[in-house]
Structure 1
């Protein structure tokens, strides 16, 4: 008699599991359909964005087998459109400030998490490179200003 009770209980448990799995499977199918629609919408947009990026692609060269972006000196190319987008955003933020800006402020305006140690170092390197190329001025206190 106990064997029949076990079988009945096990069958009931499996039926409940099958019902939960069927519900999960239906949710997965719905989400996959939504993703397929999103992909059909986003693919043309991504292709257009890629074409836009390639139209203003910065010049890169190979150094030791690695591609390196060239950030031209201000005197060589006065047009900021030749710079990568990240550098152009930096150059747009610095002049907006009332005075010299710290890297932290620029990072916050770019949406970087300034509370994490070392998160701003790549930004500091970019800003220093822009200063070295004559596009920004780096003050002795480490803050940056726009070049006139």
Structure 2
């Protein structure tokens, strides 16, 4: 996505991440047939990440900072894989069912009950981690968040 965006930019053409994604979808069957072996999110999420990176770049540019999006460096980044909440499920509280991967045993069960919005599976060294975004109701929130936030009302 980034390489294609840079190519268009040099030609004076501005394309959104949605237009780039549409172009990729048009050629993926012929040029990248292996993408059908993974979840649909594996090809969609990088375009969203590119959009967020450029939003941050333009926001920071207004503040005088330069944070132009860069390609990931193999030595400095770790792999991660985004999965939509509709693509995962739990089996016997100890297993996470991941598309195209199957059942993955979890070290501990999920701490919150609610709707899973997304899961990001990342790898650091030879260990894998799952990070969950879970929507919980207010009752469950109060059960798990018993500490009261203290606000500092310092006047003068």
TM (norm. structure 2) is 0.20
Structure with the larger strand share: 2
TM (norm. structure 1) is 0.21
